[in-house]
Amino acid sequence: MADVVESTDSLEDLRPLPHPRIKRRGQVEQPPELTPASLMQLTTGFWSFKSFAAAVELELFTKLSNLGSATVEAASEALGMPDRPTDLLLAACASLGLLEKTGNEYRNAPVAEEFLVVGRPYYFGGFVRFCDQREYPAWHRVVQALRTNRPTTWDPETQDSPFAAEDPVMMALFWEAMYSISTFTARALGDSYDFAAHNRLLDVGGGQGAFPIELCRRNPHLSATVFDLPHVCDLAADKIAESGLGNVLDTTAGDFLDDQPLPSGYDVILLSMILHDWDEASNRQLLAKCYAALPPGGAVVVCELVLNPERTGPPAAALMGMNMLIETEGGKNYSETEYTTWLLEAGFEQPRIVPLAAAGANAAIVAVRG
């Protein structure tokens, strides 16, 4: 499971601004007064999400794109809603930076026009709908998940994993969402890590192939294989065909958690947004399989939202860990110390942290087989 939308916010940003105080001669300046403003912001955070999700569900941004711009009355007609709720929704979306207003007319902000219009190449609305329809209801039972240590988005008694194909509509939303997130995370990885030394890439759990598509586009010498479950490989094959890179990209169906070895013949293995889905024992086993599949000098690249060594942040990684509680049986977000320790104990050498700024990852941990 992948991550939710990139955030650079931190709890530091939520601290109330200090009140100005007059300091008299000889008087010790008092610390700023505490207020519940930061708690209010935390408490009402769902207002923003649910307003956003409602706009996506109503296809507000698609309709505004078709109109170019619209008054409240014109938007009401396009949405089939009364003026009052339309006015409130438009104001809310404008306040969130999703719409812009000139005079009496609203139009999509650039980010909405690029990512929230149905049919655009990197449409993000699938992820919004996935979170709204699957994860938001499950988060209502987060205390249950905390007390029982069991996911609330699916039933381990009746499903093999959260990635099974039992719910085709929800899985379609999930993979659509992941493609958009993965594409831009792959671009960040390509900007930060040089794949020039590699020739053949194996993307383990590669989904629809966003990472190899982007990496092969910018590295013409590189070829790649998506290794994933059979029904996911079918989705990847469609994306590969659309990309026009079928001469250098292919798929191999398999389950990286079973007892079979990983495909060999690759000099770099990518694990992007994979390890946070599983427990430590499963991750160590997978890293051992990566080591066995690589030749001497081959590299493994772990791309994740990584916690700091103290496991106190950043929030995007820590809160994704909470999301793993409601989505997985044993997943969590791990610290850079944990990842480097596992890599070293699997036999890899020279682990290093490559910082990233992307929706799906804040770092890549790269190590080589000696």
Q: What is the pLDDT of residues 195-249, one digit of tens each?
A: 999 999 999 999 999 999 999 999 999 999 999 999 899 999 999 999 999 999 9
Could you please report the per-residue DSSP string of 93-112?
Answer: HHHTTSEEEETTEEEE-HHH
Q: Is 276 a catalytic site residue?
A: yes
Q: Are 297 and 267 in contact (CB under 8 A)?
A: yes
Residue 125 above 60 pLDDT?
yes
Q: pLDDT confidence of 340, banded at 50, 70, 90?
A: very high
Query: Residue 313 domain-assigned?
Result: yes
**pLDDT value for 93:** 98
**pLDDT value for 25:** 60
CATH number at residue 347: 3.40.50.150
pLDDT in tens, 69-113: 999 999 999 999 999 999 999 999 999 999 999 999 999 999 999
Average pLDDT of span 134-163: 90
Range of the domain at 129: 125-369
Out of 19, 221, 231, 276, the active site residue is: 276
Beta-carbon count within 10 A of 25 CB: 4
Q: pLDDT confidence of 163, banded at 50, 70, 90?
A: low
Query: Residue 56 domain-assigned?
Result: no
Query: Residue 310 domain-assigned?
Result: yes
Query: Residue 246 domain-assigned?
Result: yes
pLDDT in tens, 9-23: 333 343 444 444 445
Query: Residue 17 domain-assigned?
Result: no
Query: Residue 312 domain-assigned?
Result: yes
Q: pLDDT confidence of 164, banded at 50, 70, 90?
A: low
Q: pLDDT confidence of 168, banded at 50, 70, 90?
A: confident
Q: Are 211 and 182 in contact (CB under 8 A)?
A: yes
pLDDT in tens, 316-326: 999 999 999 99
Distance CA 272, CA 141 (A): 28
Q: What pairing do the DSSP bridges indicate for beta strands 363-369 and 299-304?
A: antiparallel
Query: Residue 75 domain-assigned?
Result: no
Residue 267 above 80 pLDDT?
yes
Query: Residue 10 domain-assigned?
Result: no
In the chain, how many domains are there? 1
